[in-house]
Every structure is written in structure tokens, then in C-alpha cells.
Amino acid sequence: MKPETEAELAKMVAGLNGPVRIAGGGTRGIGGPEVVIETLGLRGITLYEPGALTLVARAGTPVAEIEAALEAEGQQLAFEPMDHRGLLGTQGEPTIGGVVAANISGPRRIQAGACRDFLLGVRYVDGMGQVIKNGGRVMKNVTGYDLVKLMAGSWGTLGVLTEVSLKVLPKPETVATLAVGVPEVADAVQVMSAALKSPFEVSGAAYDSQTGRVLLRVEGGLESVAYRSQQLTAALSGFGEIAEVAQPADLWRALRDVRAFEGQDGDIWRISVKPTDAPDIAARLGADQTLFDWGGGLIWARVPGGIDLRDRLGAFDGHATLVRADAETAEALGRFQPEDAGIKALTQGVRRRFDPRGLFNPGLMG
């Protein structure tokens, strides 16, 4: 099913008699029911006011189309949505609805915030076929819920997004990236922590254990970036050799999309942790390859296929998401970290409120 309008989608949902899988551009390889509602027909930028830093687009609008419109005005999606196609080996085209539904956020999250922090409003169709509107350009509200925050990261389990309103930001005049040679994860986390605590406004802090380099990004005006890069270099000089890296935009896109793992065998996991716990977690992973982002708060791990990484890690303060695996492993382990009993009861109650018939992406989030 591929509705072309919000009204058509609402009618489709109202007439459903069984579960469906919600799909945007199909780039994340999400399994589920055979019946699929595709949102690609709901596309187009409906409002863009560069002076107000506001953009409204239908959910099926390709991210590339939005980025092109913003580029023409010297603006950007500051949360840097990741493109999963290379990592997952999928086709299709990333859509803004898919980005919002999964709260996809890249390296700049540590400074600017996540996708949900830039989300001003949403429109969606709930499990009864009703059109709900919340946030920016409000016409109907649902008392008791912050729908904007709930929908971001709900993975289509609460409703089918039809339109999103976003805050956008100016692109920086220039970007510099410093590389610090650090062989050990513990030292790398110290470097990233020191950089992020500094007054020099670091907008990216990542570590590739394969190359042994901490990468730090500084953005802004030309003179400001030059000054802050010099000061940051001086502040971190005791940690190791520091050099400026060429083509920083390409480098951060590669980090954002985890291109270092592309074409490699094994399962891919995404582990969210406290940065101070990253060295211990990395040691327990036993991974073939690791990549650290968000100052150590996000660990990408590539491990041999079929391993239950959650069992290997044991209890820790964070969560492990299975991003890529074969169907058997995905079915056995589940994509998302299992919730404890209290949280599970809460989330199930919310889902029953939004989707009382259990139609949307059943089983995806537990």
C-alpha cells in the first residue's frame, strides 16, 4: 500500500484488519508483516522559511531533497542524519519520516542535540485511522503526551508519520578536524573528554581503534576556527601527536555512516553507554572492529555472526541495539535491548493508547 495523501492513508489504516509494516525509503532492512504501508507517496517540502530557520516536509520526502533545499540557503540539518545503505547493503532512499521515526542522529549530537531536539511538530495517523497533529502549527492536541518527543524514536510503532516540522541551522563558514594519535581506548576517551570539556566548542569527537586516531571537529567562522584549533592543539599536546586532517566533510560523513564496516562480514551492534564506561565495555565486547562516536558514548561493534552480545556484556548502564544480522539471529535476539518489567508495562500502555489494535510494526520494539 502506497498512499498519495494523508486522507488516503487515514482511510487505509481505518480499514485494516491485521498488522502492517511501516516503511519509508526501505533503507534499514526492517522485517515484519508481509503487508506494508509505504510513505514514499507522501513527499514534498510544504513550507520552508530560511529566515525563521523552519522547514516542514511530508514524511516520504527524501533527505537528499531536503538537504539540497537547505544547501541553496546555506543551511543544514544540524543533527547529521546517518545514511544506512552502505552499512546494511540496502537500496532505496532515506526519507525524513524514517529519520524522525528512528531519531537518527550523527556525530554533532554531542553539541547540537539529537533529531528529536530539532523536531517542532508532527502529523501522523494513529491506529484507529485518525489524523493527529501536535507541536508546531498545532490544530489538534492530545492532552497528557508530548507527541513530538514520543514519535521521535518510536520506529513507527505508535503511528504513521505524514508530516514533520523541523528547526534548521546555518552551515558553518569553515570546518577543521584535528587527529590525535592514541593507541588505547582508555586514553582516547580521556582525550575526547578533555576536548569536550574545553571552551573550544568541539562539535565532533570520535575514535577509530583500527587507525588509533581520535578525531575532533571544530566549526564556525574562519578566524574563530583557526584560533580554537590552535588552542585545542595546545591543550591536548600532552596526549600525543596532533595533526590537522584534510577534507573534513568527507571524513565526518564516513564516520557518520560507519563506512569502515561496509562490506565486512559479521553482525553490527550499536551500543550506547556512559563515555567513562566505554573502555570497560569495549574490552568485554571481544569485537573484530570498533568505532567510537559521541565522545565514547556510542560504540559501533562488528562481531562474528550469531553472537549474543548482550549476554556477553552482561549488566551495564546502557543498551545494545542489533543493527545488522541474518534473519535467524535477528529473530532470536531482537533488534532492541529488552526492557525491564516496569518500563515494558509503561511502553505497552502507551502503544495501546496510540495503536489499540496492535497494527503497526508488531514485535519490533518488544
Q: What are phi and psi for residue 299, nearest 5 degrees? A: -120, 125
How far apart, in whole angstroms, are the C-alpha atoms of residue 325 and residue 329?
6
How far apart, in whole angstroms, are the C-alpha atoms of residue 228 and residue 86?
34
Residue 139 pLDDT > 70: no
Contact 184, 68 (CB under 8 A): no
Count how many domains the chain has.
3
Examine the domain organization and report whether 158 and 23 are in the same domain: yes
What is the per-residue pLDDT for 143?
45
Better pLDDT: 65 or 25: 65
Examine the domain organization and report whether 134 and 195 are in the same domain: no
Examine the domain organization and report whether 145 and 109 are in the same domain: yes
Examine the domain organization and report whether 232 and 322 are in the same domain: no
The residue-averaged pLDDT of 258-266 equals 94
Examine the domain organization and report whether 46 and 156 are in the same domain: yes
Residue 335 pLDDT > 70: yes
What is the per-residue pLDDT for 323?
95
Q: The CATH number of the domain where 193 resides is what?
A: 3.30.70.100
What is the per-residue pLDDT for 366?
64
Q: The CATH number of the domain where 318 resides is what?
A: 3.30.70
Tell me, yes or no, whether 357 lies in a domain: no
Q: Give residue-wise pLDDT tens across range 216-233.
A: 999 999 999 999 999 999
Tell me, yes or no, whether 364 lies in a domain: no
Q: What is the model's pTM?
A: 0.91
Tell me, yes or no, whether 227 lies in a domain: yes
Q: Give residue-wise pLDDT tens across range 285-316.
A: 999 999 999 999 999 999 999 999 999 999 99
Write the CA distances from 244 to 126, 169, 203, 209, 302, integer angstroms.
50, 25, 15, 18, 28
What is the per-residue pLDDT for 135?
66
Q: Please, how many CA atoms are within 13 Å of residue 13, restricted to the half-sphere of its CB? A: 32
Q: Which pLDDT band, with edges at 50, 70 and 90, does 95 fall under?
A: very high
What is the per-residue pLDDT for 144?
47
Q: Give residue-wise pLDDT tens across range 51-69.
A: 999 999 999 999 999 999 9
Examine the domain organization and report whether 36 and 165 are in the same domain: yes
Range of the domain at 292: 259-333
Examine the domain organization and report whether 18 and 166 are in the same domain: yes
Examine the domain organization and report whether 250 and 271 are in the same domain: no
Q: Report the relative pairing of strands 75-76 and 119-125 from DSSP bridges.
A: unpaired
Last residue of a domain, one of 123, 155, 170: 170
Q: Which three cell numbers stand for residue 200?
A: 573550544
Tell me, yes or no, whether 17 lies in a domain: yes
Examine the domain organization and report whether 89 and 229 are in the same domain: no
Last residue of a domain, one of 149, 170, 191: 170
Residue 347 pLDDT > 90: no
Examine the domain organization and report whether 19 and 31 are in the same domain: yes
Find the DSSP H helices in 47-154: 63-72, 85-88, 96-101, 109-112, 147-151
Rounded (5°) CA angle 141-142-143: 110
The residue-averaged pLDDT of 97-108 equals 95
Residue 136 pLDDT > 70: no
Examine the domain organization and report whether 28 and 115 are in the same domain: yes
The residue-averaged pLDDT of 103-113 equals 95
Residues near 161 by beta carbon (within 8 Å), at least 6 away in sequence: 39, 59, 97, 100, 101, 122, 123, 124, 151
How far apart, in whole angstroms, are the C-alpha atoms of residue 107 and residue 207?
11
Q: The CATH number of the domain where 88 resides is what?
A: 3.30.465.10
The residue-averaged pLDDT of 116-142 equals 79
Long-range CB contacts (< 8 A, 24+ apart) of 248-251? 248/175, 248/176, 248/177, 248/217, 249/175, 251/177, 251/215
Q: Give residue-wise pLDDT tens across range 146-169.
A: 778 889 999 899 999 999 999 999
Tell me, yes or no, whether 342 lies in a domain: no
Tell me, yes or no, whether 286 lies in a domain: yes
Tell me, yes or no, whether 279 lies in a domain: yes
Examine the domain organization and report whether 110 and 166 are in the same domain: yes
Residue 209 pLDDT > 60: yes
Strands (E), the chain: 21-23, 36-38, 45-49, 54-58, 75-76, 119-125, 131-135, 160-167, 169-170, 174-181, 202-208, 213-220, 242-245, 267-273, 289-293, 298-303, 318-324
Rounded (5°) CA angle 293-218-317: 25
Percentage of the chain lying above the pLDDT 90 cut: 74
Tell me, yes or no, whether 204 lies in a domain: yes
